[in-house]
Amino acid sequence: MTTIEAPKGAARRNTIGRAAALVLATLLAPQVARAQDRGTLNPQPLPPLAKPDDPATPAKELFGRKTAPANLQTRTIGFYSKGCLAGAVALPINGKTWQVMRLSRNRNWGHPNLVQFLERLAAQAPKTGWHGLLVGDMSQPRGGPMLTGHASHQVGLDADIWLTPMPNRELTREEREDMSATMIVAEDRLDVDPQVWTPAHLAVIRAAAKDPQVARIFVNAAIKKALCRDAGSDRGWLGKVQPWWGHDFHFHVRLICPSDSTECKPQPPRPADDGCGQELAYWFTDAVLHPRPGPPAKPKPGPKMADLPAACRQVLLAP
């Protein structure tokens, strides 16, 4: 396990950054927790907005009502948590080595790079010990903020992959809406559950991290701990794997900005080490594992259209 001592100035910046991250995660935690919410067999269209052109209308209300992609040249616009997607393509709901979950959400859309990545990773699944992948949320047909579930996933470069292998049969529609992924983290939050964690979990996350299109993989800190412990001498890929709140049932893959998308804002680079030292230890401090309860956060309406890149209005209004 690699540990790198930071200079005093860098240590202070890290402390400030971690405090900010803790505040941000507190705000996002209720959204992330919805990832295992059940879907519905009879999704109903959302009612029309009374004032869709009102500048005060949350962007999620507008993008959440778009059921088809924008007929525009494919490109991602903005940052992963503040942008949109033109010319999206859908991951087919069934493949030889994958199945899409929660079909009622209509979130199996992405940039072609994301669809190709998922098909590529799914093809490797049998080599890792899994029959295939269960794919959760990607993006909405035009990206943008979502009504529920995520602050990111807005530009078609994020995907949730369940930490449950695909069964050797096609799931029913009801199963896709009702079943939950497997809880990987132990009850004390200090490690993975040894009755659930397998070498195949490591193998599939490692396969994803080694793909050159992947910028980041988010997992629960206990999963990162298990990866650090079990990776052996092949450790170069570990640096892409970042602990983050809420990823107990799935891992979240984020791709790099595509070459066709000059308006895409990239993810800041990860540190050069494997992230198995001081960075990981922070997640097991008492302040993180047992945060002091505070007043419940008030629901926030989210960004308005004016808060998103200007090109997102064209995406929203396109046929």
Mean pLDDT for each consecutive 10-residue tract of the chain (319 residues)? Answer: 33 38 36 68 92 95 98 98 98 98 97 98 96 98 95 97 97 97 94 96 98 98 98 95 94 97 95 95 95 86 96 98
pLDDT confidence of residue 16: 36
pLDDT confidence of residue 90: 98
pLDDT confidence of residue 149: 86
Contacts of 158 (CB under 8 A, 6+ apart): 80, 114, 137, 138, 139, 150, 152, 252, 253, 254, 255
Q: Which amino acid is present at 34?
A: R
Half-sphere exposure of 96 toward its Cβ, with a 13 Å CA cutoff?
A: 7
Q: Tell me the C-alpha distance between 85 and 261, whole Å.
A: 10
Contacts of 80 (CB under 8 A, 6+ apart): 152, 153, 154, 155, 157, 158, 254, 267
